[in-house]
Amino acid sequence: MKKYQHLFFDLDHTLWDFERNSQETLEELFYELGMNELSHVEFSTFMQSFRTINHALWDSYNHHQIDRKTIRTQRFEMIRESLGMPNSTIFEQMNHAYLERCPQKPHLIPHSLEILTYLKEKYELHIISNGFEEIQKQKMKSSGILTFFSEIITSETTQYRKPSKEIFEFAVDKIKTDKQKTIMIGDNLTTDVIGANNAGIDAIFYNPEKVKHDQKVYCEIAYLLEIRDIL
């Protein structure tokens, strides 16, 4: 008998290709807003700084050290400072334009549509994301995956953030099922995998870079299509 009925997916870096979408957006804006004329900093250096700072800010957000507003308002100012770029209104413009444009990008992690189409036949699919409600929905619309999902649960509406077990319990309650009938799929070992496990929920760790770790995981994959062998 089939054990699982409901699958919880993470969105960013698991289905929606955050790296590609954000890089494409930032590269457009870097030249459109004339940031290349502002200093000697090249786009590749700017992008590297964005990656590092954005990752650190999200990590702090996941650990309840900062709120969403801080991510949005501090991100580009921190990049400017870290690269020693001059003060300019361009950073504020970039911040606004980035928030508006990035979620409209359509790129998905390879084989997302294929695996969602396969899974949709057999399970009910949901999203559990620490992202912002409207932005996550926009990303799902832009990439054509919104209709695959029944419930979209974000930290913004629940007030809980992965890895805290409450957001998983909230999800299980909301879809009126038992946690044994659910499984989480995500790319973040802490928030998605350990978080789900702490709530008594199995998890599949999507680890495309095959990052080494010593966490015991139920299942680990490097390509989304490998899910077909498990579910």
Interface with Mg ion by CB under 5 A: which residues? 10, 12-14, 187-188
CB of 164 to Mg ion, least distance (A): 16
CB of 187 to Mg ion, least distance (A): 5
CB of 129 to Mg ion, least distance (A): 8
Residue nearest Mg ion (C-beta atom): 13
Nearer to Mg ion, 10 or 17 (CB): 10
DSSP string, the chain: -----EEEE--BTTTB-HHHHHHHHHHHHHHHTTGGGTSS--HHHHHHHHHHHHHHHHHHHHTTSS-HHHHHHHHHHHHHHHHTPPP-THHHHHHHHHHHHGGG---B-TTHHHHHHHHHTTSEEEEEESS-HHHHHHHHHHTT-GGGEEEEEEHHHHS--TTSHHHHHHHHHHTT--GGGEEEEES-IIIIIIHHHHTT-EEEEE-TT--------SEEESSGGGGGGT-
Nearer to Mg ion, 11 or 94 (CB): 11
CB of 1 to Mg ion, least distance (A): 31
Nearer to Mg ion, 10 or 202 (CB): 10
Nearer to Mg ion, 14 or 142 (CB): 14
